[in-house]
Amino acid sequence: MRWYSALFDNEQIIEAALLSLKIAATSATFATILGTMAGLALTQMGRYRGRLLFTGLIAAPLVMPEVITGLSLLLMFVSLQELIGWPVSRGAGTITIAHITFSMAYVAVIVQSRLSSMDQSLQEAAMDLGGRPIQVAFDITLPLIAPSMLSGWLLAFTLSLDDLVIASFTSGAGASTLPMVIFSKIKLGVTPDINALATLIIGTVSIGIIIASWIMFRQRKRNEVG
């Protein structure tokens, strides 16, 4: 237990964990919004100029090696700063933008696969009855794809919480996320306080998974009954 109390006395780790959670929650939320829009744009909007490039832009972040994404985003931020003075400094804000960029691709793929496997007749009926596209999107499409948006959000959240390489590139001097702190400690070998931290994290995640699958199980049962 010594290492657990050492863990909670370690301000660096607590601060990094809070920062990571904040970045993960913010970036997952924006990634879900942008990714859902991208999913709609790829499935519901028909043909438009540049659609092929758009499809490529959604697929590329999924496979791009992290070192390239990280380096290119950092150089982008540095150039923007010189040109227009924004971003003023690198840290939580720039990491969040970087995480939104790669997680929105994951959300878009999840939403897109749901949308393309979905029966479109409800949307068509609503349009025939005079619904405007924006009404149809908010009243029919979005409620139907809400479960995929939720799983997209959760995936974006864990991806952000887990990312080391892109965060290292896009962070400034002040901000260290939890993976950055863990990595700098374990590079040199196995340490007991990180073992304690790993146990805590894996325990929390397991409880989360058990609760989530329990809720899903109950919902499925209720659907079967109803």
Partner 1 sequence: MSDSKPVVTKAYHQPLGDKLWRHFVIGVPYFWLLLFFLAPFSIVLKISFATPIVAQPPFTQLFDFTGNASQWLLATWDNYQFLTEDNLYWVSYFKSIKIAAVSTFICLLVGYPMAYGIARATPTTRNILLMLVILPFWTSFLLRVYAWMGLLGKHGIVNSLLMNIGLIDSPMQMLYTDMAVYLGIVYTYIPFMILPLYATLEKMDTSLHDAAADLGAKPWQTFIDVTLPLSMPGIIAGSLLVFIPAIGEYVIPALLGGIDSLMIGRTLYDEFFVNRDWPLASAVATILLIIVVIPIMLFQRSQQEQE
Continuous segment of H or E residues that includes residue 220: helix 192-225
Residue closer to partner 1 (CB basis): 5 or 89: 89
Residue closer to partner 1 (CB basis): 173 or 225: 173
| Minimum CB–partner distance for residue 204 and partner 1 (Å) | 10
Residue closer to partner 1 (CB basis): 189 or 226: 189
87 within 8 A of 172, measured Cβ to Cβ: no
| Minimum CB–partner distance for residue 48 and partner 1 (Å) | 6
Continuous segment of H or E residues that includes residue 181: helix 178-186
Please give the residue ranges that form the binding site for partner 1 (CB under 8 A).
34-35, 37-38, 40-41, 45, 48, 50, 54-69, 71-73, 75-76, 78-79, 82, 97-98, 100-101, 104, 108, 124, 128, 132-134, 137, 155, 158, 161-162, 164-165, 168-169, 179, 182-183, 186-187, 189-190, 194-195, 198, 201-202, 205, 208-209, 213
11 within 8 A of 84, measured Cβ to Cβ: no
| Minimum CB–partner distance for residue 11 and partner 1 (Å) | 21
Integer Cα distance of 162 and 178 in angstroms: 8
| Minimum CB–partner distance for residue 115 and partner 1 (Å) | 12
Residue closer to partner 1 (CB basis): 125 or 146: 125
| Minimum CB–partner distance for residue 91 and partner 1 (Å) | 16
Continuous segment of H or E residues that includes residue 184: helix 178-186
Residue closer to partner 1 (CB basis): 15 or 164: 164
164 within 8 A of 180, measured Cβ to Cβ: yes
Q: What are the C-alpha distances in Å from 177 to residues 11, 56, 83, 181?
A: 13, 30, 28, 6
| Minimum CB–partner distance for residue 13 and partner 1 (Å) | 14
153 within 8 A of 29, measured Cβ to Cβ: yes
Residue closer to partner 1 (CB basis): 132 or 221: 132
Residue 42 carries which side chain, given as an amino acid letter?
Answer: L
Q: What are the C-alpha distances in Å from 4 to residues 13, 21, 25?
A: 12, 20, 25
Integer Cα distance of 7 and 199 in angstroms: 12
